[in-house]
Each structure stands twice: as structure tokens, then as C-alpha cells.
Amino acid sequence: MADDELEGLLAEQIAYYRTRAGEYDATYPLDARADPGARAELVAALAALAPFGRVLELACGTGQWTVELARHATTVTAVDAAPEALAICRRRVGAAGVRLVEADVFTWRPRERYDFVFFAGWLSHVPPQRFDAFWALVADCLAPGGLVFVIDELPAVAAVERPAAGEQPAPAVRREVGGGQAFRAVKVLHDPDELRVRLGALGWDADVTTVGWRFFAASVRRVSGG
């Protein structure tokens, strides 16, 4: 029953992003109009790494970060479960080296390994029960010597979130879209120090920095023998 409840929550999360796709760019908190300083700093941090070679983006959404990755990469494979978001991403990117894949990140498996793996605003949507398995997937995606770069939100964001009512199979928040529909979405806000420790136990070395009050960026590498 617990597994069924978690699957139901994750299905609702996908439904939320499918429904919200058309308004996402205007409402996402990292939009340049909402927090220009944070976005500029995160874009600069990504550019400093110059995402190289074959790049994988998980949960690419409408492509806000896909366009940044495509500036440096040889190829970009961008995966997302929402076809509505992928349609916007396709129009935004328009790059021959970008391949879009419609798939649930929790069930998708890579056909090749990548030099650089990126996800923004996704780790907080991974339930605690799936954390280890998700990072095992990331390891399967990463070529030897490759780099993972993560952008997500800090625990301070809890002050502006609305927890979903009732008992949930994983930490969850209530989200509404313009038409008045309400959905639940997983929301796990990671403390940087705790994230470093947890990833270390899984064989990763994480360098985590904070950006303003809301965001963190993490460069993560596989530990030799991990």
C-alpha cells in the first residue's frame, strides 16, 4: 500500500508539471525578473564548468537550463516526463545537438554514458525512498571522470511552501496552477552539509555552495572505487 501511495504522489507530480508547463516560465522563482542575482550567479557557475562532451540533463522541463548547456556541449540529451514541457523546450532550444526524450526519470535507463550530468530543481522532487536508487542511476549515466552538477533549493524555502494536507508517503507540498487546479508534489529540501554526508556514504564527493537564501549549487564527482 505504501508503494502504491508513493506511486500515486509521483504520478500527481508529473500531472502538475504537465498542467503547469504553459505558465512555468513566468512563475518559476529563478526567473530573471524574480531573482536576477541568483540566476546570474548560477549561470556563471555552470558556465565556469563549461559543460563538456556528451551532456545529460534530467527533468529538463521547458529548457531554461538546456539552452545554457547547449552553449558548451557537443551533444545534449534532455529527459522529461511532461510532453507539454518538452514541446516548449524544443521551441526554445532549436539546436541540432539537442535530443529530447520523453520518459519518467524514475524508470528511464541510459543507453550510453555521459561526460556531464545536470539537473536543476529535480533533486528536491526525489522522495527519500528513491534517493539511493536515483544516485545509482546517475552513476550508471556517468562516464569515467565525468561530473555531475546540481542546482536546487535550500531548507529556507520551507517558509514559503504550503505542505500538502494530511499524511503523505513522502514530504509533499500543495501546488496550484492558473486554472485553479491543485496538485501535490514531492518536496525534500536538503541541508548542504547533510547532503554532502549522504552522498559521501554513496560514494560521491560533493562540493556544495549556497547562492542567496534560496538556492544551492553542487559539483559532484564519483569517488574512485565508489
127 sits in which H/E element: none
DSSP-derived letter for residue 214 is: T
Q: What is the pTM of this model?
A: 0.95
| 132, β-bridge pairs | none
- Averaged pLDDT for residues 103-118: 97
- Averaged pLDDT for residues 83-111: 95
How many domains does the structure of the chain reveal?
1
The SS3 assignment for 73 reads: coil
With vertex at residue 125, the alpha carbon angle to CA 43 and CA 136, rounded to the nearest 5 degrees, is 90
Q: Are 31 and 25 in contact (CB under 8 A)?
A: yes
Q: How many angstroms separate the Cα of 145 from the Cα of each of 75, 99, 197?
A: 17, 23, 21
Q: What is the mean pLDDT of the chain?
A: 93
With vertex at residue 28, the alpha carbon angle to CA 20 and CA 219, rounded to the nearest 5 degrees, is 120
Provide the domain limits for residue 175.
2-222
Which pLDDT tens digit goes with each residue over 163-213?
A: 999 999 999 999 999 888 999 999 999 999 999 999 999 999 999 999 999
pLDDT of 224 above 50: yes
**CATH code for position 149:** 3.40.50.150
- Look at 56-65, 145-154, 217-226 and tell me which has the smallest mean pLDDT: 217-226
What is the structure's pLDDT at 33? Answer: 47
Nearest to 126 by CA among 20, 6, 216, 23: 6
Tell me the C-alpha distance between 88 and 186, whole Å.
23
